[in-house]
Structure 1
Amino acid sequence: MAQFHFNYKDISRINHYGFSVRRIGIHLVGILLGYLIYEILFYLTLFITDGTEARNFWKTSGLLPVLPFTTTELSPLTTGVMWVGLSAFAAIFFLVSTMASKITIEQLRGDVFYSVGNALSFVKQNWKTVFGSFFGLISIVFLLFLIPGSVALLGKIPFLGKPILVLASLFTPIAFFIGLLIAFIITVLIASLFFVPAIAATTNTDAFETIYQLFAIVWNQPWRIVGYGIFLLFLKLIFVPIWAIFCLGGFIIILLPMFYLHTTFIQESMALANKWLGETLQKFTSLFFQDNTIIFGIDTSQPSVAIFSTTVCAILITVTLICIAGGVIAYLFSLASVGTTLIYTILRQHIDGQNLLETIGTGGQVEGTSVTIGEK
């Protein structure tokens, strides 16, 4: 079992646990799977609705994901499918984050051989807890919103509407407290986006207990959540750019020999890859080079001839760059999974004295001491 201080010092361990092949690997698989689902749904819908529009988007964006809230030029069907794809990506992210959190907590408990397969089995058994927690919180907010919403709708009734609104105004103080409750639950809902995978992985409880734990940490430890969250963000801003620089440097190093020995071939391949990625490489290098036709020292201003060998090389370069970008994001997600797991472990100790590091294995449900929300 890892030695724990149950304070901010433990959060500084995120790179030790986050820079892990298992955690980065499962996040990378999740990112690529979500990316493929999103892109396939997007272009498939474009081809079904309007082939010309699909070709136009391919010329301007290529394989670069286009988010539904960044454009208004698409049909309602395409926009709806994009939201479905984005929801699928989010669902995969939360499941993968639960796996990463489970590996983290078991490693902290001393089970260093806890595998990805074990984590996958855990998620198969507990995925309802993850999504049930979100559904439960959203349902609570929706039901509470029905109260002022119903009054507003009743106010639309002819002749009776105005008297109903006057009568409802007598209960304004009560409505104010309902509004405060809704605001608090929305805050809990926002916190759930970060902590549900960690709570589900560390406690192995159902959705109701997960929701209760969310209320408990937000009510009892709000400033620790904010403070530790800022500290976690600060660490991410340090570690992720370093990892990105190393990944980019590695790609450039393996590309240099081929560039000097096969200059024209690599230039044409990079030009195609840049085109397929929606000119992202040129936009990125324009931050460092005055001439944005220079990509990693390679001039792509000359038009390329798409022969078979060039196309194959461009495909491999494109796939490699997508995987590199995914690897950087996966490392960010890995740090987030480890960080939220560590933070929740610390918060739980401060709330009810429950040491989450004492339970080892997937079968044991953590039975914490009951604590009233608001109790310190």
Structure 2
Amino acid sequence: MTGKKVSERLHFDFRDIFLASRLALSGKTIMAQFIGLGVGYLLWLIFTYLAWLLSGLGLSQTWGLYGFFPILDFSFSGTPAWICFLIGNLLFLLLWLLSSTAVAQLGFRDLLGDPFYPLTHGYRFAFKSLPTLVFTPGLILFFIVLILLFGVILGLVGRIASIGELVFSLVYLLPVFPVALALAYIILNFSVSLFFTPAVVATARSDIFDTIIEIFTTVWRQPWRLLVYSGLLYAVAKSAAFVFAYFCFRAAQFVHLSCGLLMGEKLERITATALNYLPRESVIFSYFTNLSPRIRFGFHLPESFHWGPLGGPENVAAFLLGLSFIVIFFFVISYFLATFSVGQVLIYLNLVKRKDDKNLLEEEKAKAPSTTPTNEVTSGSFE
């Protein structure tokens, strides 16, 4: 596609969504998502362990029950434990927003013909945009809480003897019901903002209020395209992640077969123990090892086999190998999330073109008309 203008790289319809898996299949892009996922999960893991500790469960007990993945049971006891768990979830969400913005920026620069845009610059942009990333959904959530608070106040008025129920009945049609209807719409926009804000910030360079306006106008003016494109993007990301996971699985098998010729039973013992560090029984793991929950098409790890106690060096080797398997698993998840992040950029570029007749790629190119010779040569490598 060399020689075409920037505006000609996209069709500005559903066909662009299929570019997401290809744009995300880059070591730099996957690593950008992996950094946020890894750091975010590590913080979440620490605070989840603290929550279990505050609930009266010791560290050794928690490790014996859950290992690296305490994701199947959240029956904490006591308010401090739940607060600790909530902090961990908020930190994970923050890291996810940062990494998604960095990936969205990398994808946007790639579409502009700058495939050598550094990963560090992507994260620098993400941290610079941190107030917008936090306060865009934060302000929308504030309005939701404010409206709900008025509902609580109305409920208190309704408790007044004799006149409370009368007041409630009089104001129900106007203004209570229209406000409740608006609340449902605001909640929808809040949900969209959690996924869409990184794409808007990366492409439009918008501040907090501009980002909120963009999200609301997009949901209002292009709801069906947003819904259909998002569903298509999910299918693309899921299929691409499954294929990537399958190749990782086969690569691990090749390593096992070649090294097992000489290592023999020792490798079998180490591998069987190392695989137990993965969350093999969780929904998340089966999600990436199967194409669809309703279609029995996927791959499965070998069944657990008890080899008896391992020696000291073998235990250490199994632990290190287990960490390697976890890193590979996180890379698969990172590719899925990176495809989703880049796809959101493609969706937003399409929707802005539809609702405002604006080509954000052309506008960004006009702001910085000079590019390096290398970028000019490689700028059309998407078809």
TM-score normalized with structure 2 length: 0.83
Aligned to 2:45: 39
Q: Distance in 1 between matches of 2:324 and 2:213?
A: 43
> Higher mean Cα deviation, 74-83 or 162-171?
74-83
Aligned to 2:165: 165
Q: Distance in 2 between matches of 1:173 and 1:298?
A: 61
Q: Distance in 2 between matches of 1:7 and 1:301?
A: 54
What's the CA shift for 1:315?
A: 1.9
Aligned to 1:214: 215
The one-letter code of the counterpart of 1:167 is V
What's the CA shift for 1:135?
A: 0.7
Q: Distance in 2 between matches of 1:11 and 1:141?
A: 32
Q: Distance in 2 between matches of 1:314 and 1:104?
A: 37
CA separation of 1:153/1:11 partners in 2, compared to 1, >3 Å: closer, same or farther? same
RMSD, aligned CA: 2.6
Equivalence map 1:223-302=2 (5 Å): 223-277=224-278, 280=281, 300-302=305-307
What's the CA shift for 1:47?
A: 4.5
Gaps of 5+ in 2: 1-5, 291-299, 369-383
CA separation of 1:167/1:297 partners in 2, compared to 1, >3 Å: closer, same or farther? closer
Q: How many residues align?
A: 348
Alpha-carbon deviations, 1:323-350, whole Å to 9, x = none? 1110110000011001111001100111
Q: 1:330 aligns with which of 329, 334, 353?
A: 334
What's the CA shift for 1:296?
A: 5.1
Q: 1:129 aligns with which of 115, 129, 132?
A: 132
Equivalence map 1:100-111=2 (5 Å): 100-111=103-114
CA contact (8 A) 1:102 1:201 kept: yes
Are 2:360 and 1:359 equivalent residues in the alignment?
no
Aligned to 1:199: 200
CA contact (8 A) 2:135 2:208 kept: yes
Are 2:68 and 1:63 equivalent residues in the alignment?
yes
SS at match of 1:171: helix
Q: Distance in 1 between matches of 2:88 and 2:364?
A: 36
CA separation of 1:113/1:297 partners in 2, compared to 1, >3 Å: closer, same or farther? closer
CA contact (8 A) 2:101 2:199 kept: yes
What's the CA shift for 1:85?
A: 1.2
Are 2:27 and 1:21 equivalent residues in the alignment?
yes
The one-letter code of the counterpart of 2:23 is Y
CA separation of 1:209/1:46 partners in 2, compared to 1, >3 Å: closer, same or farther? same
What's the CA shift for 1:248?
A: 1.1
Identical-pair percentage: 26
CA separation of 1:107/1:58 partners in 2, compared to 1, >3 Å: closer, same or farther? same
CA separation of 1:277/1:6 partners in 2, compared to 1, >3 Å: closer, same or farther? closer
Aligned to 1:153: 156
What's the CA shift for 1:316?
A: 1.8
Equivalence map 1:42-121=2 (5 Å): 42-47=48-53, 50=56, 52=58, 54-66=59-71, 70-72=73-75, 74-121=77-124
What's the CA shift for 1:7?
A: 0.7
Q: Distance in 1 between matches of 2:178 and 2:102?
A: 38
CA contact (8 A) 1:24 1:331 kept: yes
What's the CA shift for 1:103?
A: 1.2
CA contact (8 A) 1:62 1:275 kept: no
